A and B are shown apart, each in its own frame.
Chain A
Amino acid sequence: MSSTKYDLVSIRSDGGAERKMGPHEFAALPINERVSAVLQKRLKFYLRGVEVPEREALKPD
């Protein structure tokens, strides 16, 4: 299930590199990886180029 509240997710790796992906690709990542990224504040969500607060982006549709 992928959200409609964002169309782009950016995940920062430990080394500082950024990975960008769409909601479907993000939803397909292993759940542990997504949870770790949330816990370590490594996620940023965007809708039409504007950053969406994490809390809003993660709210169920």
Chain B
Amino acid sequence: MSEVQTDRTADAIVARAGARFDKWLDERHVTTDRFFAWLLAGQWLFGIAIALTISPHTWSGKVESIHAHVWLATLLGGAIISLPLLLIRMRPGHVMTRHVVSVSQMLISALLIHLTGGRIETHFHVFVSLAFLAFYLDWRVLVTATLVVVADHLILGLFLPESVYGIDNPEWWRFLEHAFWVLFLISVLVYGCATTIKTWLGFAQEVVMLEALAERQLDGAHGEGS
């Protein structure tokens, strides 16, 4: 095999490996999108169930009506999940889809926290969501989620503190405490994503080397045969 031929063959093998690696990642993105389609729909129903369980009705004198939380869970929850579900169906695996999923998942966290009156235990949903979002192996998705959760805690903490903390006079910096724990978790998750990607790259490169060996042997066999 001449040097030019070798370079061309090496480039072709490496390009195939790059395409294979991209396919692995793409498959992971599509699989995670599908997972979130079920999760988002399930959480929407769960939110409605919570609203119906905790505060199904409200009273104005003797007049009973459906509590605003039920409408909030149904309509706002439905609105939150509609765009990601549409994108998962129309553009699975696309970078925009997973960022929209990320935003929606964190908004669902905010909605569930609101529906439970800012119960601290419901804040665990934020951490579970971040762990699920790490399935994408894309650290940028985690950054998007973090920005949403910090903004939500800051804004609702200022204007509707009971909704997010369950008390009406939290310290102004309470959102920073929550943000610290979120950052603590995502620093570990980002590291996990990076090491998984590195491992996959290692696998892809091992396959490349074996392909090169097979290519050479095939070339040698052809050379001997001709």
Name A's B-contacting residues (CB within 8 A). 1, 14, 27, 31-32, 34-36, 38-41, 54-55, 58-60
Contacts and interface: CB of A to CB of B under 8 A. Distances in A.
The winner among B9, B208, B213 for most chain A CB atoms within 10 A is B213
Most buried by B among A31, A35, A54, A55: A35
Contacts of B14: 31-32, 35
B27 interface: no
Contact of B216 (A27, A32, A34, A39): A39
A48 B14 CA distance: 30
Interface of B: 1, 3, 6-7, 9-11, 13-14, 17, 198-199, 201-203, 205-210, 212-213, 215-216, 219
Contact of A39 (B9, B201, B202): B9
A1 B213 contact: no
Contacts of A36: 6-7, 10
A31 B204 CA distance: 10
A38 B213 CA distance: 6
B158 to A, nearest CB: 49
Contacts of B212: 34-35, 38-39
Contacts, number: 59
A1 B10 contact: no
B17 A58 contact: no
Given A1-B199, A1-B202, A1-B203, A58 B213 contact: yes
A58 B199 contact: no
A31 B6 contact: no
In the A-B complex, the 8 residue pairs with the smallest Cβ-Cβ separation, listed nearest first, are A1-B202, A38-B212, A35-B10, A35-B212, A60-B206, A36-B10, A58-B209, A39-B6
B6 A32 contact: no
Given A39-B6, A55-B213, A60-B203, 20 more contacts: A1-B205, A1-B206, A27-B205, A31-B208, A32-B7, A32-B14, A35-B9, A35-B13, A35-B14, A38-B209, A38-B212, A38-B213, A39-B10, A39-B212, A40-B1, A40-B3, A58-B206, A58-B210, A58-B213, A60-B206
Nearest to B216: A39
18 contacts: A1-B199, A1-B201, A1-B202, A1-B205, A1-B206, A31-B17, A31-B205, A35-B13, A35-B14, A35-B208, A36-B10, A39-B1, A39-B9, A40-B1, A55-B213, A58-B209, A58-B213, A60-B206
Contacts of B208: 31, 34-35
A14 B3 CA distance: 10
